[in-house]
Structure 1
Amino acid sequence: MTEVQTLEAPSARRPSASKAPRTTKSTANLGEGFAARVLSVLSEHQRIALRLRHGEGLSPEQVAARMKLPQGVTDRLLADAERTLQAARRAFVEALVENAASRD
């Protein structure tokens, strides 16, 4: 699975503990299920490329060599897979926000 990093401005303030949303077991399970569904949408080659790039920390050139594919092909696999993951992440966060708003 790929690791997603969130970048913040150095001066960004974190919400107080009382205002920070709690991660519940059901939310964690929902996230895991959602991630599994998103990964299942990716092709096998995309999943392998992501695992090599982000899981094993290989450079794009090393990914191409390991997969025995041209560099351009692996660049496209990674770009398409990462675009899919980003879109899924945005949709998941929006769904969580809508769900939280409906509880208020």
Structure 2
Amino acid sequence: MKQRAVKLMQGYLWLPRELEWDPEKELPATIELSEVSASLLLDEVEPPFAFFDDGTPSASQRFYQLTIVVMSDLDQHELHPLAQELEEKLRPALETAPAGVGWLLLEDLREL
């Protein structure tokens, strides 16, 4: 089977506008997994909603779309273990981010 670009995970990262923390410098651009290297792509985006559940305006935050991509010839159902491994390796970097940084990351497994 021919290698193709596949999203393993996609989601959002947000932080208060006044927080001087740069996710592009603090998060790894490449994450080594058991079978492949995953690339973390960050794009600053407009908030995808107006308010958080607690009523905080989303305009008070900087939002980034996170997309994590691999080149793989694995079948879609074979990619799930890689997504789990990726989450285990990325979670510590997200959890050590400063207070106020939030994220939502979901398994995607779609070909680009």
* Length-normalised TM-score, structure 2: 0.36
* Length-normalised TM-score, structure 1: 0.38
**Which of the two has greater helix per residue?**
1
**Which of the two has greater strand per residue?**
2
Tell which has more relative contact order, 1 or 2 (C-alpha 8 A, sep 6+): 2
Which of structures 1 and 2 has the bigger CA Rg? 1
